[in-house]
């Protein structure tokens, strides 16, 4: 089973940030959506969604995610921030809204915090911003934990599909 964890405090936001993930994930197996406020249900793979720029309530629940530190996880935007916090990475107050060029083409960004130099993660994709070149898609050095500072459900669906394909094939 695939667990999609919504970081949206408002249900209406899930239309934009969670529903596209559900549509993509259903091609790879059964999907269960839960809230960041709920207990994490046992699953084979997890996707932690993004949310609107001014929604930070999930930050009060980061410890709820500590059991995911050794699971198969893809964190998107807010999910990225949660995973970076869990692994002790330093989030910088930087804001970017819109499309930016990355090593794999254009990507859609909507963030107010980012890790400029991760220590526990390997850079898979970087992007150039007015404040410098920053890793925006990373993998934990020893776990199957991936995180994107952008929204791959907008322009880079193949990132989500690749993560779920490896789960479906038993490769993660």
Using DSSP, state whether 40 is helix, strand or coil: coil
Q: CA-CA distance, 138 to 122, in Å (whole number)?
A: 5
Report the first-to-last Cα separation within the chain, whole angstroms. Answer: 13
Give me the residue label for tokens 């993998």: 139
Q: Give me the chain's average pLDDT, please.
A: 95
The boundaries of the domain holding residue 106 are: 2-168
Weakly modelled stretches of the chain, pLDDT under 70: 171-172
pLDDT number for residue 172: 57
How many distinct structural domains can be found in the chain? 1
pLDDT number for residue 5: 98
pLDDT number for residue 82: 97
Its pTM stands at 0.95
Span 96-127, pLDDT tens digits: 999 999 999 999 999 999 999 999 999 999 99
H/E element, 155: helix 152-155
Token duo for residue 1: 């089973």
For residue 43, the domain's CATH number is 3.40.50.880
The contacts of residue 92 (CB under 8 Å, 6+ apart) are 113, 114, 115, 116
């Amino acid at each position: 089973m695939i667990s999609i964890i919504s970081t949206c405090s408002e249900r209406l936001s899930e239309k934009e940030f969670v529903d596209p993930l559900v549509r993509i994930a259903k091609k790879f197996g059964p999907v269960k959506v839960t809230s960041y406020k709920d207990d994490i249900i046992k699953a084979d793979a997890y996707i932690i969604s993004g949310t609107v720029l001014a929604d930070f309530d999930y930050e009060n629940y980061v410890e709820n995610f500590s059991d995911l530190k050794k699971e198969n996880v893809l964190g998107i935007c807010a999910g990225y921030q949660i995973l970076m916090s869990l692994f002790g990475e330093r989030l910088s107050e930087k804001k970017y809204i819109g499309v930016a060029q990355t090593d794999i083409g254009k990507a859609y960004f909507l963030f107010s915090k980012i890790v400029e130099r991760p220590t526990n993660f390997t850079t898979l994709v970087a992007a150039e911003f007015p404040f410098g070149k920053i890793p925006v898609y990373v993998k934990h050095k020893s776990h199957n934990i991936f995180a994107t500072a952008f929204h791959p459900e907008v322009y880079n669906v193949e990132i989500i599909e690749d993560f779920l394909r490896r789960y479906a094939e038993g490769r993660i």
